[in-house]
């Protein structure tokens, strides 16, 4: 069974968490939610979710896929060394999917140089400064990295996410 990790913190964008999470579960993927702290997290619109574990408890090689949702939560995640360590390891050895501002975590982990990505247009200059090529498209696939511009593009992203995971893991 394929295993996916979603890292998040308070102020996550709900659609960018719930749609990929449920879509992966529909495919039989075991999904783990991890956060820097083990307490209920509140999204931008007030929805709450309980993480399964803390990020520092994660063994990155146990997962086939890392998903980083959109929202101001990425600012908190990129300041946490444990989140950057997990992101860096999975980016080197597995598959990563990000939505909206999610590439900021990859940027802080030093995993964007030479990549081609899409992201929220508001961070395109940050993406370029990190050495990545920015494309204003709904979804961009670059090797083991799948990126999505934002919540409006989630239908296309979720379909791509399932195909992306099937490339190396039986789903």
Total-model pTM: 0.97
Give the pLDDT confidence of 32-73 residue by residue, as tens digits: 999 999 999 999 999 999 999 999 999 999 999 999 999 999
* Low-confidence residues of the chain: pLDDT under 70: 170-171
Q: How far apart are CA 118 and CA 48, in angstroms?
A: 27
| Cβ-based burial of 46 (10 A; exposed 0-12, middle 13-18, buried ≥19) | exposed
Query: Quick one: pLDDT at residue 55?
Result: 98
Whose tokens are 């996916």? That residue is: 4
Domains along the sequence of the chain with CATH? 3-166 (3.40.50.880)
Catalytic residues: 101
DSSP β-ladder status, 30-35 and 95-99: unpaired
Query: Quick one: pLDDT at residue 66?
Result: 98
SS3 31: strand
DSSP helix, strand, coil percent of the chain (3-state; round to 5): 40, 20, 40
The gap from C-alpha 151 to its chain's centroid, in whole angstroms, comes to 13
């Amino acid at each position: 069974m394929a295993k996916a990790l979603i890292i998040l913190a308070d102020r996550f964008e709900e659609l960018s968490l719930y749609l990929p999470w449920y879509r992966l579960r529909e495919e039989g993927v075991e999904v783990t939610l991890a956060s820097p702290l083990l307490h209920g997290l509140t999204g931008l619109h007030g929805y709450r979710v309980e993480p399964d574990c803390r990020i520092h408890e994660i063994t990155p090689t146990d997962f086939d896929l890392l998903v980083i949702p959109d929202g101001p939560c990425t600012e908190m995640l990129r300041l946490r060394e444990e989140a950057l360590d997990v992101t860096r390891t999975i980016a080197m050895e597995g598959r990563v999917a990000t939505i909206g501002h999610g590439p900021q975590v990859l940027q802080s982990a030093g995993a964007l140089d030479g990549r081609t990505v899409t992201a929220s247009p508001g961070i395109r200059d940050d993406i370029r400064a990190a050495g990545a090529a920015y494309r204003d498209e709904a979804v961009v696939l670059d090797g083991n990295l799948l990126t999505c511009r934002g919540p409006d593009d989630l239908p296309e992203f979720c379909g791509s996410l399932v195909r992306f995971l099937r490339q190396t893991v039986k789903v």
